[in-house]
Structure 1
């Protein structure tokens, strides 16, 4: 059964934090480029530099941020942008359900710890037996958050120098990032089956569903796969 690692020694916690930090360096570097692109696009969509940076600081989720900017740039309302961003972030619901048993404390403390969940950290902190190393999670998220803010600042204040992010190839970074995460998780036949089912459902919904709904549907498929996973 999943359990919280509150019995870990100080040395074990420091080792997990350090390991998480080291493992996250490639993702932190990729995040810098992604957020740099976001900073440029946000300014083009009418955000002030402060608003773009505040969005990254508070939301810290590329899919939601890029979706919101795309809607606003296309003439959509702020309400539509917020709703679409919330749907894009709905994938964190099944991720949080999986993580929750590994977090100690009451609801508020667990909720605070859960704020460190991002895609790469969640995937890497997964021990593969239904439990998560929360100290590894904390250590891997911290540098990603710092570079996400730094990249947004660079893009928001230096966008005029950088020019069109698509011409620099930054538009390809985001799907490549998630593909790398997916490949790392396809360790078993069951995982591959769940991934294919989620992808098929998402692709079927893309032409007919609002932005964010395909991601939510694919997340629910993943959650069902987790619920049906036999105990190790």
Structure 2
């Protein structure tokens, strides 16, 4: 919920109306992509670059779907809803269970809880953001980077993953002063090539 509030406040301070913040959170429900799109557009990047960067970031959901497809049931309605609730955390909790029934329960419970808290946080953050103006004054803008760093750090113990992360970061930092917002993020995928192979953590 705190991360959602961070997004809501940042998006509103960047000029996004509250209704659009809420609509994006309900319809997209992908925190990383939402932050990226708002950041790119606010930084002067084109909407096309923002959408493309979001699609590339969310491409990881394709293997996610293959891994947990059986948990979504056979009815079209449940598969569509389950696909919408498919985020990193719900997939991780589901795959951590050995029994199919427990995996299914973990996926739906985690996905539904995250959907509700994320959207509640986004609405609260957007309303607060209107009042405080710059979220950086209160450190709200640091919530999402801190959460992402906490998720990434354990994976960096694996040497190949660390090489990919360092190469991607170097490419993004080196090209940021010269290219439009959003493009360096896409070019950072070159880190996968420089590392020689896709690491297991990314492939999963």
Q: TM-score, normalised by structure 2?
A: 0.73
1:96–1:89 distance in 2 versus 1, CA, 3 Å:
same
Q: 1:133 aligns with which of 100, 103, 106?
A: 103
- For residue 117 of structure 1, report the CA deviation from its aligned partner: 1.4
Correspondence 1:82 to 2:51: yes
Q: 2:184 aligns with which of 207, 210, 217?
A: 210
> Which residue of the partner structure matches residue 178 of structure 2?
none
1:146–1:104 distance in 2 versus 1, CA, 3 Å:
closer
- For residue 65 of structure 1, report the CA deviation from its aligned partner: 1.0
> Secondary structure of 1:76's match?
coil
- For residue 109 of structure 1, report the CA deviation from its aligned partner: 5.0
**Deviation digits for residues 160-192 of structure 1 (CA, Å, limit 9, x no counterpart):** 333422222223322332333345678xxxx83
Give the Cα separation in 2 of the matches to 1:73 and 1:119.
Answer: 26
**Deviation digits for residues 176-227 of structure 1 (CA, Å, limit 9, x no counterpart):** 32333345678xxxx8345334424433442346324536966x82468758
> Secondary structure of 1:133's match?
helix
Correspondence 1:66 to 2:40: no
Correspondence 1:150 to 2:120: yes
Give the Cα separation in 1 of the matches to 2:69 and 2:190.
Answer: 19
C-alpha contact (below 8 Å) 1:35/1:148 kept by paired residues: yes
C-alpha contact (below 8 Å) 2:13/2:135 kept by paired residues: no
> Secondary structure of 1:41's match?
helix
Higher helix share: 2
- Structure 2 residue runs of 5 or longer lacking an equivalent are 176-182
- Structure 1 residue runs of 5 or longer lacking an equivalent are 1-31, 228-232
C-alpha contact (below 8 Å) 1:34/1:173 kept by paired residues: yes
C-alpha contact (below 8 Å) 2:5/2:121 kept by paired residues: yes
Aligned length: 190
> Which residue of the partner structure matches residue 93 of structure 2?
124
Give the Cα separation in 1 of the matches to 2:67 and 2:56.
Answer: 19
1:139–1:151 distance in 2 versus 1, CA, 3 Å:
same
- The 5-angstrom pairing of residues 1-232 of structure 1 reads 32-100=1-69, 102-105=71-74, 109-127=78-96, 133-182=103-152, 192-193=158-159, 195-206=161-172, 207-208=174-175, 210-212=184-186, 214=188, 221-222=198-199
